[in-house]
Amino acid sequence: MGLSSRGRLAAYATAAVAASLVHEPAILAVALACALGLAGQPRWRLLNRTLWAIVAFNLTISFGYVLIATWQGNFRTNYLLLVNLRVVLLVFLGFWFASHVNVLAALRGRPTLELLATLALGQMQVFARIVRDFRLAFESRNPARPRLADRARNAAAQGQTLLEKSLATGTEVALAMRSRGTFDD
């Protein structure tokens, strides 16, 4: 018998907090290996998705750390490994959790959390549609493979649109929630 949605949410939250409290790369590596083992058949798809999701972030942070720490004379390989393993583990756990749990079912009975999750899921769908529309529009305007500069301009325009949309929507949602008494400040 498996865990309920709420039980899985509690297990995920516990695992995420525990991974945040561990400061030994070896323990994080063992935890990642255990998570991969427990994930079953979709483990490699989830790991691939995890690595693609974090590659830009981890490379940027790691490169910045290497530069600054080397310049300051306190570079520690152990710390670099710790940070990267923690990010991989947390993102993998997040993808694994999301693929097995209906978040709204896990939050059933908690009206404020249910409302926040519904709003977040709705915004994710809006942003996914914007990204899809940008991709389709870009592909339709470029029958041949576009140049790197053209792709960079498209990515910048897409990023700007997503940022503007998130700021506008965030402001509207916060005002609407405040007017309904969600925030007590």
pLDDT tens per residue across span 102-119: 888 888 888 888 888 888
| Helical pair 111-141 and 148-179, crossing angle rounded to 10 deg | 160
DSSP string, 60-101: HHHHHHHHHHHHHT---HHHHHHHHHHHHHHHHHHHHHHHH-
For tokens 């998570």, the residue is 35
Residue ranges of the chain with pLDDT lower than 50?
A: 1
Residue environment code for 78-112, b if the CB has 16+ CB neighbours within 10 A, otherwise e = eebbbbbbbbbbbbbbbbbbeeebebeebbeeeee
Provide the pLDDT for residue 71.
93
Q: Is 181 left (phi over 0), alpha (psi -120 to 50) or beta?
A: left
Domain boundaries, the chain: 5-103, 109-179
Provide the pLDDT for residue 155.
86
Please report, for residues 68, 126, 168, the alpha-carbon distance to residue 159 in angstroms, rounded to integers and kept in the order given: 28, 14, 14
Tokens of 32: 């990642």
Per residue in 53-78, pLDDT tens? 888 888 888 999 999 999 999 999 99
Provide the pLDDT for residue 1.
43
**Rounded to an integer, what distance in angstroms lies between the CA atom of residue 14 and that of residue 112?**
21
For residue 92, give the nearest of 16, 155, 185, 151 by alpha carbon. 16
**Rounded to an integer, what distance in angstroms lies between the CA atom of residue 143 and that of residue 157?**
20
